[in-house]
């Protein structure tokens, strides 16, 4: 585990997932700093995670070897402009997890010489099963690349992308992806209740089925289509369900949803980006 000090600006959902994942994988809470505008949020992190807290974002830049920007995309410009003067005096790696904020915007706000890794994690980082795509700007050296990768690998899978444009697609696939699986679980649970199962049993069966399906998919060399065929006995129950999904445009619907998420990521880069 790396011994660098990691500072988070913004202590919300994603930062909490990352901090918990880092601590669970052996990173000392003493080497984690977090700032937030909400005092209760900070106190909760001090009480529950035993990390160092700061009300002022400037303290994070002072203390950390790597600063993780974990505020909402809409707030990022102000935060970057606030810390930019300090970054000019201290060679700190900046890692941004904000959806739809480009390297170009980050460099404009933080300073052209800043080493920046833009990445797209997801919430399963909380249980060390995250998936994160990373993109480094040319100012990032090999040691800093390793540092960024080590932070995100502590909470799951990491994949580098040379082409930054692909991060918009990644946001639509894995960044937002957990919500799609939760939506399917939600819909299955509702249907299960209609079919007469009690809530507790329905939820347990669906959770375990989702886990089992994901495990098989990860461990098998077969494609999802092949794995689906294995569950589907000709003339049986699965075939009835799958045909119902397909007849009602399930595949096109999923494509439409992912395109909408990707397009929103591009739109956010334009709306919230450098000006």
Ligand X SMILES: O=C(O)[C@@H]1CCC=N1
Per the annotation, where are the binding residues for NADPH? Answer: 57
Q: How many residues does this entry show for the chain? A: 275
User: How many Cα atoms within 13 Å fall on the side-chain side of residue 255?
Assistant: 5
**Residue 82 burial by CB count (10 A; 0-12/13-18/19+): exposed, middle or buried?**
middle
Tokens 């000006």 appear where?
275
Closest separation in Å from C-beta 9 to ligand X: 17
Stretch that binds ligand X, among 31-39, 51-59, 171-179, 180-188 (CB under 6 A): 171-179
Could you tell me if 93 and 113 are in contact, meaning their C-beta atoms sit under 8 angstroms apart?
no
Q: Which is nearer to ligand X, 44 or 179 (CB)?
A: 179
Cα first-last separation, the chain: 39
Among ligand NAI, ligand X, none, partner that 13 touches (CB below 5 to 8 angstroms by kind): ligand NAI
Among candidate residues 59, 117, 54, the one with its CA nearest the CA of residue 83: 59
Q: Which residue is nearest to ligand X (CB)?
A: 175
Residue 17 Cβ vs ligand NAI, minimum distance, rounded to whole Å: 8
Residues that bind ligand NAI (CB under 6 A): 9-15, 35-38, 41, 57, 70-73, 75, 79, 97-99, 120-123, 175
Of 53 and 272, nearer to ligand X (C-beta) is 272
Q: Where do contacts with ligand X occur on this chain (CB under 6 A)? A: 99, 171, 175-176
């Amino acid at each position: 585990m790396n011994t660098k000090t990691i500072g988070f600006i913004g202590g919300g959902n994603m930062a909490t997932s990352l901090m918990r994942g880092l601590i669970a994988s052996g990173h000392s809470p003493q080497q984690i700093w977090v700032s937030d505008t909400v005092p209760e949020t900070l106190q909760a992190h001090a009480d529950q995670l035993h990390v160092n807290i700061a009300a002022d974002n400037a303290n994070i830049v002072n203390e950390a070897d790597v600063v993780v920007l974990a505020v909402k995309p809409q707030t990022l410009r102000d935060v970057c402009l606030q810390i930019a003067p300090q970054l000019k005096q201290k060679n700190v790696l900046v890692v941004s997890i904000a959806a739809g904020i480009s390297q170009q915007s980050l460099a404009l706000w933080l300073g052209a010489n800043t080493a920046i890794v833009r990445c797209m994690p997801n919430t399963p980082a909380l249980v060390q099963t995250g998936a994160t795509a990373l993109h480094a700007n040319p100012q990032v050296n090999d040691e800093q690349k390793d540092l960024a990768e080590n932070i995100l690998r502590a909470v799951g899978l990491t994949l580098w992308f040379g082409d930054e444009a692909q991060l918009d697609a990644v946001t639509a696939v894995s960044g937002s992806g957990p919500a799609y699986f939760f939506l399917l679980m939600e819909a299955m649970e509702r249907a299960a209740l209609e079919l007469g199962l009690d809530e507790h049993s329905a939820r347990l069966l669906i959770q375990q089925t989702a886990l089992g399906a994901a495990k098989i998919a990860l461990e098998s060399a077969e494609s999802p289509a092949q794995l689906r065929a294995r569950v589907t006995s000709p003339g049986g129950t699965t075939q009835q369900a799958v045909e119902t999904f397909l007849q009602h445009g399930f595949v096109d619907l999923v494509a439409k949803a992912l395109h909408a998420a990707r397009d929103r990521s591009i739109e956010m880069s334009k709306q919230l980006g450098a000006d």
